[in-house]
Amino acid sequence: MKENQAIRQAKYVEAIGEALVQAMECDERVFVMGIGVDDPTGVFGSTRPAFKRFGKKRVFTIPLSENAITGVGIGAALSGLRPIMVHARNDFLLLTMDQLVNHAAKWSYMAGGRMKVPFTIRAIIGRGWGQGPQHSQSLQALFVHTPGLKVVMPATPYDAKGLLLASIGDDCPVIFIEHRRLYDTVGPVPEETYTVPLGKGAVRREGRDVTVVASSLMVLEALQASQLLQSDGIAAEVIDLRTLSPLDDELVFDSVRKTGRLVVADTGWETCGVAAEVSARVASNVFGSLKAPIRRVCLPNSPTPTCPSLEKEFYPGAEDIAAAVRTVVGRGKEPMRPRASARTQESWDKGFTGPF
Amino acid sequence: MMLLIRRTEEKIGELYPEQEMKCAVHLSIGEEASAVGVCAALRGDDVIYSTHRCHAHYLAKGGNLKRMVAELYGKAAGCCRGKGGSMHLADPEVGMMGSSAIVAGSIPLAVGSALAFSMKGNDRVAVALFGDGGAEQGSFTECLSFASLKSLPVIFVCENNLYATHTHISARQSKDNIHQRGEPYGVPGTQIDGNDVLAVYEAAFQAVERCRLGKGPSLLECRTYRWRGHVGPDYDYDLGYRSKQELEEWMRRCPILTYERSLVSAGICSQSDLDLIREEVDEEVARAVTFAKSSPEPEMDELLQDVY
């Protein structure tokens, strides 16, 4: 990222919107469909530029029939197009699980590799501001569990554009999960087209004492945690997975070989989640390098409460990651979850006013 | 073609007990006319999508018999390199775009191909083949709605053989009227004698023409009957969910014998011509079985290939 300091700054949502436009300019096979992609709000503004540029023929809304239309996307991909389907909330992907898991993920394999499904599915995680149990889930683990699906979770505006262009160019079905609370974050985004390769993570901050593996919004929390830990003299290395499937094992293993400690932070639930998978892979492959037990920082095992007081308590953040790190480096007691009132508020969280 | 399908499936039923064909086979003996009638109305570059009961569809669309039988035997020479098996036959070269074992699962995919043809502005046609059970799934209704909305060149072909697994349609559907299900969405429907290959061809031909003229989707309900059990080679009337008498009534309406009789009575061919064709078909089937049995298994490193 250092070499990009001088380049244009843009929001995460603008990076996504620009990626769609550029993908459609470069390749006439690309089109966008989804509920409300052509309405005046354009899925938080992310599809608006593409609709303005290309109109209803290539950016069109669909009936509220998510499962069938996912199958339509597969068929269109099999017949030479490169569809992008958009969901304003990833919770609606549950309606499409048959087509995603039974069909998109397996069609190429079942046909002995004679067909490909170049299909990108964008879905957004909601959070905070009363999104409630059915508008806030973080369901990436469901898709990572299925061979044949690639799963991408960009944390920065730069990656949002580069990973989306890579996903659209990929011949596999890709679940591209965006975080609503990242939409207004700003960062360097080159104006020209570029791709960030799928399956490659990034070291966001180097450190010698502990490896903190994160993705999506938790990368920001982990970076904030690393600042908090600096005053304790703890140097945390922060790894952004970027792509959860395929997972960049070697990047994680190399870091753990160096630091000997691991904390994994995920936006999803702990049980059978992405953090569990990363922990298991590290334990199975570089166990000898570990100087302390692995810790996970994930959602508590409950649906998301809607009321602000419990909602604030529900989400783990930088303080929780810092507490977990202090434990694994032997500087803290077995952590209680810090009370919400004790937590800091990051810039991405300030000024969010809803309604969604 | 109907005879080739029949003799192939009868041979599969005969060889299945050898335990060399290690995949679930769903035979469509008795239903040949709908597959052949529909596919005969299509061009080579049109596409079809099928279900777990897909042998007839694959062959009728021009699939390779040797590669199909090899697929059932799990061999590398199979049309899906042994990774799909009987329920997932696919061959994009002949427009057989794949087969889903999830009931109604492939209907949306056919609509997707039709969407692609429509967006590209060509006159190709996509066909979704499914059973009466598939008509019960929400995705069928969702697809009628979307295909009509976009006026897509897709034909919904329901092969209504009256049973889903072991359950009669009367226990599953309040009205036995699948061909009318498109009406609320503006999709015209026709019910056809699914054992009359010429009637199926005629209806399919009209639906194809409608698609090519940009007039949108059609729904065809082919009334037919599955002679053998839901899965495997047995007749299974002994299970008690259907009577032997019912089976025998439908066997008297055999689509192949009916068509052969009409050919002979119209003077198009003689009984000895038909006997000769039957001999040739049997030889072709035997060659395919020999090919499949003698073909090598896939290499072990193929296990993880084509996942991504």
Enter the DSSP assignment of B169: G
For the stretch A190-219, pLDDT in tens is 999 999 999 999 999 999 999 999 999 999
User: Residue B233 corresponds to which amino acid?
Assistant: P
Which residues does chain A have within 8 Å of residue B139's beta carbon, measured at their own beta carbons?
A: 65, 67-68, 71, 98
Minimal Cβ distance to A78: which of B80, B109, B307:
B109
- Quote the minimal CA–CA distance from A24 to chain B in Å: 14
Residue B138 at interface with chain A, using a CB cutoff of 8 Å: yes
As annotated, the active-site residues of A are: 135
pLDDT of residue A338: 58
Interface of A with B (CB under 8 A): 31, 57, 62-63, 65, 67-81, 83, 98-99, 102-103, 107-115, 147-148, 150, 172, 246
User: Is the pLDDT at B111 greater than 90, yes or no?
Assistant: yes
Distance in angstroms (rounded) separating the CA atoms of residues A271 and A163: 27
For the stretch A170-189, pLDDT in tens is 999 999 999 999 999 999 99
Distance in angstroms (rounded) separating the CA atoms of residues A206 and A147: 32
Contact by Cβ (8 Å): B191, B179? yes
Among the listed residues A267, A242, A278, A244, the one whose alpha carbon sits nearest the alpha carbon of residue A144: A244
pLDDT in tens, chain A (356 residues): 555 557 999 999 999 999 999 999 999 999 999 999 999 999 999 999 999 999 999 999 999 999 999 999 999 999 999 999 999 999 999 999 999 999 999 999 999 999 999 999 999 999 988 899 999 999 999 999 999 999 999 999 999 999 999 999 999 999 999 999 999 999 999 999 999 999 999 999 999 999 999 999 999 999 999 999 999 999 999 999 999 999 999 999 999 999 999 999 999 999 999 999 999 999 999 999 999 999 999 999 999 999 999 998 999 999 999 999 999 999 876 655 655 555 656 655 666 777 76
> Which residue in A32, A57, A78, A97 has the most chain B C-beta atoms within 10 A of its own C-beta, making it the best mutation to test that interface?
A78
ipTM: 0.94
CB contacts < 8 Å between A and B, how many?
A: 143
Which uninterrupted H or E stretch holds B130?
Answer: strand B126-131
pTM for this entry: 0.94
Contact by Cβ (8 Å): B247, B237? yes
Residue B116 at interface with chain A, using a CB cutoff of 8 Å: yes
Q: A313 is written with which tokens?
A: 């308590």
> Which residue in B67, B87, B115, B124 has the most chain A C-beta atoms within 10 A of its own C-beta, making it the best mutation to test that interface?
B115
DSSP string, A46-78: TSHHHHHHH-TTTEE---S-HHHHHHHHHHHHH
pLDDT of residue A331: 83
User: Is the pLDDT at B66 greater than 90, yes or no?
Assistant: yes
Minimal Cβ distance to B116: which of A68, A76, A114:
A76
What is residue A194's three-state secondary structure? coil
Q: What is the largest CA-CA distance in chain B?
A: 56
**What's the distance, CA B120 to chain centroid?**
27
Which residues does chain B have within 8 Å of residue A72's beta carbon, measured at their own beta carbons?
A: 108-109, 111-112, 115, 143, 146
Adjacent-strand bridge partners of A297 = A265
Q: What is the largest CA-CA distance in chain A?
A: 59
Contact by Cβ (8 Å): B255, B33? yes
